[in-house]
């Protein structure tokens, strides 16, 4: 049976493609350079079995999503991801599971051009923790605290597909392939985030639900907002679901969307349209920032049902 060091060397010691990374997996710590005019951006997310994914989830899907959700956080800051560490807690040494997990993670890291530079392994309930690092030009990071009265509110992509998929699975209904992809293979907006520098006044990735995540922007910026539920960007699947259920809480509070919600001065509308067309990403205006200190959702009278970590 492999020991910890053999496991790491066999499954996770990949060639470094980024020349600015001097030292990666295999030493006490990693070494890499960043340009003098840049700031380091870092974020950490943990995915736990039974909380963030089902016990029978495919190891390849778990690996991809573990990296994707971290990339989404970096994108929300307007930064470009550079490298990451992986901490893996395993209930047992399953080489078939590890092979599928590591191959998927390697494929995703190559696709998104981020390098694995270190991490840790230990025994226990299945948990995957990734710490990701990126760079952004000094003073250019897009924070949650920059929204201003009169700013437009936008969201990328569609909302509610992952939540609909999860709802169907919990009810024993087979979701379609598009819904499964949104839940298991979310597409972090790694190109949109940096494109919004000097355009977005604030930004956040929609992971816990639009209602809750937009509220984080409002609190950090000390402003309020009005959004119209009729303007929410929805897929055909979610629209069909709403025809019978009228459950707007699903796209508003469902979470796991990993889209970007951002605010911008009204003068930037044409520039945002150009970004949308250039990147081929749907960007929808859903509301306006005001000074009310509250969030008003027109057309929705339900309670907040966004994801809570505890």
144-298: CATH topology: Phosphoribosyl-aminoimidazole Synthetase; Chain A, domain 2 (3.90.650)
Domain boundaries, the chain: 4-137, 144-298
**The domain 4-137: what is its CATH number?**
3.30.1330.10
pLDDT in tens, 78-114: 999 999 999 999 998 888 999 999 999 999 999 999 9
Q: Stretch 289-296: mean pLDDT, rounded? A: 95
- Binding-site residues for substrate sit at 52, 256, 307
What is the pLDDT at residue 14? Answer: 64
Greatest mean pLDDT among 49-53, 169-173, 192-196: 192-196
Question: Mind giving me the DSSP string for 270-291?
Answer: HHHHHHHHHHT--EEEEEEEES
What is the pLDDT at residue 26? Answer: 61
Q: Is the pLDDT of residue 143 over 90?
A: yes
Whether the pTM exceeds 0.75: the reply is yes
Cβ neighbors of 87 (< 8 A, separation 6 or more) are 119, 120, 121, 122, 127, 128, 129, 130, 131
What is the pLDDT at residue 300? Answer: 79
Q: Which helix (H) or strand (E) holds 250?
A: helix 249-253
- Binding-site residues sit at 28, 43-45, 52, 73, 119-120, 144, 205, 207-208, 256, 307
Question: Mind giving me the DSSP string for 120-168?
Answer: EEEESS-EEEEEEEEEEETT----GGG--TT-EEEEES-SSHHHHHHHH
- Binding-site residues for ATP sit at 119-120, 144, 207
- Binding-site residues for Mg(2+) sit at 28, 43-45, 73, 120, 205, 208
Residue 5's pLDDT band, with cuts at 50, 70 and 90, is low
Q: Please check whether residue 230 is in contact with residue 299, taking contact to mean a CB–CB distance below 8 angstroms.
A: yes
Q: Are strands 259-264 and 152-156 parallel, antiparallel or unpaired?
A: antiparallel
């Amino acid at each position: 049976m492999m020991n910890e060091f053999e496991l790491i060397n066999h499954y996770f010691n990949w060639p470094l493609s980024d020349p600015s990374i001097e030292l990666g997996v295999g030493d006490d710590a990693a070494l890499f350079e960043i340009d003098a005019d840049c700031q380091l951006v870092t974020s950490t997310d943990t995915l736990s079995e039974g909380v963030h994914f089902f016990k029978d989830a495919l190891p390849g899907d778990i690996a991809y999503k573990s990296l994707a959700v971290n990339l989404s956080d970096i994108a929300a800051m307007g930064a470009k991801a550079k490298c990451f560490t992986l901490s893996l807690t395993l209930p047992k040494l399953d080489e078939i599971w590890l092979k599928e997990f590591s191959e998927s993670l390697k494929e995703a890291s190559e696709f998104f051009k981020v390098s694995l530079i270190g991490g840790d392994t230990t025994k226990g309930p299945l948990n995957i923790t990734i710490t990701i690092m990126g760079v952004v030009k000094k003073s250019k990071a897009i924070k949650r605290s920059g929204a201003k009265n009169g700013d437009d509110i936008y969201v990328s992509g569609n909302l509610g597909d992952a939540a609909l998929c999860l709802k169907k699975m919990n009810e024993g209904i087979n979701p379609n392939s598009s819904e499964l992809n949104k839940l298991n293979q979310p597409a972090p907006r790694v190109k949109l985030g940096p494109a919004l520098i000097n355009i977005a006044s604030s930004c956040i990735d929609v992971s816990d639900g639009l209602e809750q995540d937009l509220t984080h922007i409002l609190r950090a910026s000390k402003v309020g907002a009005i959004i119209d539920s009729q303007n929410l960007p929805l897929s055909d699947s979610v629209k069909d679901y709403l025809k019978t259920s009228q459950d707007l809480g699903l796209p508003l509070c469902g979470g796991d969307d990993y889209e970007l919600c951002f605010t911008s001065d009204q003068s930037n509308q044409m520039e945002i349209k150009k970004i949308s067309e250039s990147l081929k990403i749907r960007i929808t205006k859903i509301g306006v920032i005001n000074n009310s200190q509250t969030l008003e959702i027109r057309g929705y009278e339900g309670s907040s049902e966004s994801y809570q970590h505890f």
